[in-house]
Amino acid sequence: MQSIILPVDSDQYYVFTPVPTDSNFNANWVNGNAYFDELWYHRIDMRANGGAGKVIEKMPLEASQLSQSWMMVAGMRMEKICGW
């Protein structure tokens, strides 16, 4: 399982992390079968709190389609190379 940090600009970052929903956690954690069925993103502004940072937005991503999200990796898309 992985989480990812992606820079938005010099001060803001996205943090993506898979989590179990509350219902899944409550139903399955005790028997060790709770899986990560939501993928959340958090937008963080590192200028806030005197440089300590603050989550300014957070939301599940396409949760209905991403049951048991598991591993993530970020690739780089190059607008100049792709001719955009």
Q: Which residues of 47-83 are buried (b: 16+ CB within 10 A; e: fewer)?
A: eeeeeeeeeeeeeeeeeeeeeebeeeeeeeeeeeeee
Minimum CB separation of residue 49 from another protein in Å reads 20
Site for another protein in 6-65 (CB under 8 A): 6-9, 14-15, 28, 32-36, 41, 61-62, 65
Tell me the β-bridge partners of 13: 7, 44
Number of residues counted as binding another protein (CB under 8 A): 37
User: Which chain residues interact with another protein by CB under 8 A?
Assistant: 1-9, 14-15, 28, 32-36, 41, 61-62, 65-78, 81-83
